[in-house]
Structure 1
């Protein structure tokens, strides 16, 4: 329980950093950011009034609650995404620590989880899966499995190749059949990265799970008039969710 508690505390802090990635990486990748814009500069500030935030405004979870979800200067609303990311990271980290006692696997699982959370939210908000995250996630998976920590290295390499190749093939089949793009290149890279962590054997159940989940969500959204048949639904979050489920319960598949 102590390990789970410490992981939750770390998760809250890392979730705060993930919020920085989620906000800044798409701007950096798109080229819309001003010169010198990085993860560290400019300092955190209110997007509505421009005031630089003080340390008391940046305490994960607590500051948002204390300020009732509003800027401490201009009282503009602050997106609930910030505390939700911090809370989700804490809960998932705590669950992994409770379930996995071996520190090597736990460290890998925490890194894998953090990247998937950031990519999920970025894809939902912007429709992007930045190379700044997908490519380090891919190389990290191969390095993690260098000595077979989760799967043998050859399975990790084949997982990366097959993950990219399968979605690349589906992309072109769909494009030739319909004349439209059904997937983005970021999806190929994300599945390649997940394959590097989980190995090629995990890809069939992962793809089945992500496809069925995506179809169910799309059906519900269309049923309630929230999207049409021609609207695009980001696939990255379903890949990320399925990848995390397979990481935790992989032996069941």
Structure 2
């Protein structure tokens, strides 16, 4: 099919459908990648620090964890373990037809799953609206998918995996070099530098003043990646929006007793929200919002 036939509503609709499908896969990434990382770290620790003398053969051994990656095993209901048939895994539609419940045990299915699918579909449709068919649209769709995955992983686990943040950073610089992101390479480069160093400086200033860590190194890498994609000009409005929104959500969770152990709220989801808002509205609009 010629690319020029994918302009207008047809292209936007197909991009939305692609986004729904990718969003379904992102749910797998969000759930499984942290588990895969924990297993990898445990294996590396075991190699560096071998276990003490072997236990007697009569001692029960922990069962071997089943192999897990992003493709296998097939998705299952976390409540009853029943496999999910393909026709029960159609983005948005299956959730609506099943009324948000497992077809086998009727356990409720979290609203998170259709939400991720919907956000990805909307993001892909908006990217196609902005760029039309071509490599720039595919590049920005990858950006949307990666940022959404990072936001939800960080919210669940307070992890921002290098497996996503670092490829996202390098992809932003490469997209600028190839002319796909619409950003000059020097703006992307300095966006990455400013993104990392700004949060790194805030981290150390806060730690020196309070003796506590206010954020993790994953936040530095994510902000650097956002700078590589959106330019240094977008960093200030993204950071301000993320800080205000994070403070509001944190206070709401505190007064509703919703804070997790330690009383902290991950910062990555709010950086991601600011970045997606910058993609939709443009950095200039966000700068106007904050009076700059």
TM over 0.5: yes
Q: TM-score, normalised by structure 1?
A: 0.91
- 1:23 and 2:31 are equivalent in the alignment: yes
- 1:8 and 2:16 are equivalent in the alignment: yes
SS at match of 1:145: helix
- Relative distance call for 1:117 and 1:78 in structure 2 (3 A) is same
How far the C-alpha of 1:227 sits from its partner, in A, is 4.2
How far the C-alpha of 1:6 sits from its partner, in A, is 1.1
How far the C-alpha of 1:67 sits from its partner, in A, is 1.8
2:185 to 146, 150, 153: 153
1:79 to 106, 110, 130: 110
* Correspondence 1:158-197 to 2 at 5 A: 158-197=190-229
Give me the whole-angstrom Cα distance separating, in 1, the residues matched to 2:209 and 2:263: 18
Give me the whole-angstrom Cα distance separating, in 2, the residues matched to 1:137 and 1:80: 27
SS at match of 1:60: coil
* Correspondence 1:80-229 to 2 at 5 A: 80-101=111-132, 103-149=134-180, 150-227=182-259
- Relative distance call for 1:4 and 1:102 in structure 2 (3 A) is closer
SS at match of 1:151: coil
Q: TM-score, normalised by structure 2?
A: 0.80
2:227–2:234: 8 Å Cα contact kept in structure 1? yes
Give me the whole-angstrom Cα distance separating, in 1, the residues matched to 2:257 and 2:104: 38
- 1:46 and 2:99 are equivalent in the alignment: no
1:40-93 alpha-carbon deviations (Å, 9 max, x no partner)? 111111222222222222111122222222222222222121111111211222
How far the C-alpha of 1:224 sits from its partner, in A, is 4.4
Give me the whole-angstrom Cα distance separating, in 1, the residues matched to 2:164 and 2:259: 28
How far the C-alpha of 1:140 sits from its partner, in A, is 1.0
State the partner residue of 1:250. Answer: 283
Give me the whole-angstrom Cα distance separating, in 1, the residues matched to 2:97 and 2:232: 46
What are the ranges of 5 or more consecutive residues in structure 2 without an aligned counterpart?
1-8, 43-63, 288-292
Indicate the structure (1 or 2) with the bigger Cα radius of gyration: 2
1:108-165 alpha-carbon deviations (Å, 9 max, x no partner)? 2211111111111111111111111111111111111113432221221221122111
State the partner residue of 1:61. Answer: 92
Query: Size of the alignment, in residue pairs?
Result: 252
Give me the whole-angstrom Cα distance separating, in 1, the residues matched to 2:221 and 2:257: 31
Give me the whole-angstrom Cα distance separating, in 1, the residues matched to 2:170 and 2:142: 12
Give me the whole-angstrom Cα distance separating, in 1, the residues matched to 2:200 and 2:102: 44
- Relative distance call for 1:214 and 1:52 in structure 2 (3 A) is same
Give me the whole-angstrom Cα distance separating, in 1, the residues matched to 2:278 and 2:74: 37
State the partner residue of 1:231. Answer: 263
SS at match of 1:219: helix
